[in-house]
Amino acid sequence: MKFWNILLALIVIGLVIMGIVSNSKKRSLFTQLQHLLANEQFDEFFELIDSKQAQLVFPEYNRQYFKLNAHLMHGDSARARKLLEQLLTMKTSKAQRRDLVLKAFSIFTTEGDESSAATMLHEIEGWDEPQYDTIKTDSRRMFDIALKNSTAYIDEMEHELATAAPARKGQLDLMLAMQYDTLGNASKRDAYLEEAARNAQAPQGK
């Protein structure tokens, strides 16, 4: 059973699609692109993002990053993977690099690519700032649960649920569901999936 579509939305933290939109022309074009994606008008989106206007307004990295998200939404994993590998070689700001590495880790984990996921995990675990502590912990957990079939985190995650906010509960619920699926406990798996869906719809901070 696959949990990845929900999991990617919940675990990847701090997703930045295009960076700061600083002028009216850029804001207008950005709004058009968002509208096309929201309405799944992918052909029109790619035509616009590759237009001379977009190339003049947006930096190359931002355009390619936006295209990556579009390929993921469209379910085109082959193009998304190729573009992701290209993006990982590009010069970026620290914030862009960390956002991209988190996305790459999630994609590689989803694809079952243990080697590539391990490379991203090694980079994540090298981040020293305290604000990344939870991300580092969850990335290690996800690597072990998804790629090593570990069930070692059940007790600590169930303990953490007692005081977690709804969004955090949703993340924990999904990782618990995956572990119970590994154990073959369908009733526990399904219960945590239902909780994850409920917590995903709860207002933030409540």
Span 60-82, pLDDT tens digits: 999 999 999 999 999 999 999 99
- DSSP structural state of residue 132: G
96 contacts 16 by C-beta, under 8 angstroms: yes
Residue 188 pLDDT exceeds 60: yes
Mean per-residue pLDDT over the chain, rounded? 88
Span 23-37, pLDDT tens digits: 677 888 989 999 999
Selected residue with higher pLDDT from 180 and 6: 180
Give residue 68's pLDDT.
94
Give residue 16's pLDDT.
38
**What's this model's pTM, rounded to 2 decimal places?**
0.81
3-state helix, strand, coil in the chain (%, to 5): 75, 0, 25
Q: Above pLDDT 90, what percent of the chain?
A: 77
Give residue 1's pLDDT.
45
164 contacts 145 by C-beta, under 8 angstroms: no
Task: Compute CA distances 64 → 2, 49, 196, whole Å.
Answer: 28, 9, 31
Indicate the range of 9-13, 164-168, 179-183, 191-195 predicted with least confidence.
9-13
Q: What span, in angstroms and rounded, lies between the C-alpha atoms of 138 and 172?
A: 9
Q: If pLDDT is split at 50, 70 and 90, which confidence band does 12 have?
A: very low
Q: What span, in angstroms and rounded, lies between the C-alpha atoms of 141 and 30?
A: 35
